């Protein structure tokens, strides 16, 4: 069990609060992942740059250690980890960023990740860990390098990966959510004119501005939800 959150801001007036809002959302997921935590944020420049912070410890500790509440930007993702299949370490923590313009957070497990990993290794893809989430991140990066946009890459994930999973993936321009065909790993989306926010549990979203007027819904199985800058 892990906790994932994400926030895509549609209005520049909230950009200065991105780090603050994401930190609060992530801290609400502490009970879902006490081993490690991390956040990736894209700034709001003409060519957005990603800043990524992850480490062993609680969400509050990580956010305070790296000054996350003071960060500004237009979108980001966060993750709290309960390790189930690999070591508790900074390297195995989320988000996974196989390139400087893509970050992935994952709740669940891939049952065939070793097969996909071997196929990627044969194609020259290098790995830093034995974590199944890294395999998905590098697979998506490879699809995008081949010309796919994020929506297309995630549809290929649905065709290629077996297991129970929810993913939130961000690039410099796109923000996306996808769940497997069983959709048993929880996810809630809240959308307003100002933002699209996601969380493993609703209470991660409860403190967002304007949440009382948000459209709140559960993403369906095998559906890719995307937002663009």
Among positive and negative, which fits the CA dihedral 66, 69, 74, 80?
positive
Q: Is 184 a catalytic residue?
A: no
Cβ count near 140 (within 10 Å): 25
Query: Which residues have CB under 8 Å from 86's CB, separation 6+?
Result: 92, 129, 130, 131, 132
Locate tokens 């250690």: which residue?
A: 65
Q: Which of 2, 22, 28, 68 is catalytic?
A: 2
How would you label 153-171 residue by residue, b for 16+ Cβ within 10 Å and e otherwise?
bbbebbeebeebbbbbbbb
Active site positions, annotated:
2
């Amino acid at each position: 069990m892990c906790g994932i959150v994400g926030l895509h801001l549609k209005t520049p007036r909230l950009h200065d609060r991105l780090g603050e809002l994401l930190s609060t959302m992530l801290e609400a997921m502490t009970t879902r992942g006490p081993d490690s935590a991390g956040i990736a944020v894209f700034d709001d420049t003409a060519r957005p740059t990603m800043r990524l912070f992850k480490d062993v410890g609680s969400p509050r500790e990580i956010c305070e250690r790296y000054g996350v509440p003071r960060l500004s930007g237009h979108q980001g993702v966060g993750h709290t980890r309960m390790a189930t299949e690999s070591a508790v370490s900074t390297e195995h923590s989320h988000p996974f960023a196989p390139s400087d313009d893509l970050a992935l957070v994952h709740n669940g497990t891939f049952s065939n990740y070793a097969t996909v990993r071997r196929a990627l290794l044969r194609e020259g893809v290098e790995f830093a860990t034995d974590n199944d989430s890294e395999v998905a991140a590098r697979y998506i990066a490879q699809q995008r390098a081949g010309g796919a946009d994020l929506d297309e890459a995630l549809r290929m994930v649905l065709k290629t990966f077996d297991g129970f999973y929810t993913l939130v993936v961000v690039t410099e321009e796109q923000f996306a959510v996808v769940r497997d065909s069983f959709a048993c790993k929880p996810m809630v989306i809240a959308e307003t004119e100002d933002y699209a926010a996601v969380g493993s549990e609703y209470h991660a979203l409860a403190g967002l501005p304007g949440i009382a007027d948000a459209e709140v819904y559960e993403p369906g199985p095998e559906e890719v939800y995307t937002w663009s800058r």
